């Protein structure tokens, strides 16, 4: 039986230029492949996230996979998918609607800026455990939990200098991701994001984590519009708005690869 060709792209999301931000694979489908096939494609290409996008009559369905698991929400791969749709599929579209495991996600395009409309996930205070500080190798001032564990540390310098202990993190299976965050020096707040249990030891720029970080910092800074930076090796900038039960997360995208995969 012959193989089928699917259009496939790699996009650097939340990036001002190539080789910055977070890489995402985007695979365009007419209909869903089996979940194990999509998981295998994500593992084969070994990017932090691969988005699978299927066109419907008036919207697009979207699913996201790390190299090891399907996830319920991914920001950078949604931004990358909106870039691909508005550039190569529905050319010039300034509003794109995705239906996902996390509900309806609208993306608005203004020039080269893509703004994601995501659910807000305000975290709740939890008790600081000894393993939290050991996991990030730094003192933890506060701990908060939604999908991800949010660890507040003293400064941007501390965030930058974290040397994570991935062996400890892998044992902290009650959290999907672990975020270290602090008030920023030339941004409102900064963060780093770790998910070794999902096959991504440190994610470059994590839109979904900002569903939690935005309301967390909006409350602390008493402001609803903020600029955030993720201090990974590649780095990325996110333009953030706190909007009640929703958040808006904007950034730019740069195309790295366009081609086909054969499955």
Beta bridge partners of 169: none
238 contact partners, CB below 8 Å, separation of at least 6 = 14, 205, 207, 210, 227, 228, 229, 230, 249, 250, 251
Query: Tokens 């003293």, residue?
Result: 154
Q: Are strands 49-55 and 22-29 parallel, antiparallel or unpaired?
A: parallel
> Which of 44, 49, 156, 202 is an active site residue?
49
Spatial distance between the Cα atoms of 248 and 151, rounded to a whole number of angstroms: 22
Spatial distance between the Cα atoms of 52 and 34, rounded to a whole number of angstroms: 11
Give start and end residues of each alpha helix (H) in the chain.
Answer: 35-45, 75-84, 130-136, 156-161, 166-171, 210-221
Secondary structure letter of residue 197 according to DSSP: G
Torsion angle of the four alpha carbons 32, 34, 35, 38, in this order, in degrees rounded to the nearest 10: -70
Does residue 49 carry a catalytic annotation?
A: yes
Nearest one of 41, 96, 100 to 65, comparing CA atoms:
41
Spatial distance between the Cα atoms of 25 and 51, rounded to a whole number of angstroms: 6
**Residue 236 backbone phi and psi in degrees, to 5:** -170, 155
Spatial distance between the Cα atoms of 243 and 62, rounded to a whole number of angstroms: 23
Instruction: Give the residue numbers marked as catalytic.
Output: 49
């Amino acid at each position: 039986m012959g193989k089928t060709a699917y259009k496939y792209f790699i996009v650097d999301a939340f990036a001002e230029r190539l080789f910055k931000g977070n890489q995402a694979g985007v695979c365009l489908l007419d209909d869903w492949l089996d979940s194990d096939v999509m998981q295998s494609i994500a593992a084969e290409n070994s990017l932090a996230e691969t988005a699978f996008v299927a066109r419907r009559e008036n919207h697009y369905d979207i699913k996201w996979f790390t190299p090891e698991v399907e996830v319920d929400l991914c920001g950078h791969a949604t931004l990358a998918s909106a870039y691909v749709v508005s550039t190569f599929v529905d050319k010039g579209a300034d509003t794109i609607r995705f239906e996902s495991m996390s509900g309806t996600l609208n993306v608005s395009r203004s020039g080269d800026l893509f703004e994601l409309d995501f659910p807000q996930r305000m975290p709740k205070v939890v008790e600081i455990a000894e393993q939290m500080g050991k996991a990030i190798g730094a003192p933890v001032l506060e701990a908060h939990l939604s999908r991800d564990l949010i660890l507040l540390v003293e400064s941007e310098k501390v965030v930058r200098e974290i040397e994570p202990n991935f062996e400890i993190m892998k044992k902290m299976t009650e959290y999907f991701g672990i975020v270290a965050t602090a008030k920023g020096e030339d941004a409102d707040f900064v963060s780093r994001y770790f998910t070794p249990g999902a096959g991504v030891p440190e994610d470059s720029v994590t839109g979904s984590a900002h569903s939690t970080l935005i309301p967390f910092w909006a409350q602390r800074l008493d402001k609803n519009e903020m600029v955030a930076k993720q201090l990974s090796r590649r780095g990325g900038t996110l333009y953030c708005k706190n909007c009640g039960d929703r958040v808006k997360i904007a950034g730019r995208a740069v195309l790295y690869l366009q081609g086909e995969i054969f499955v």
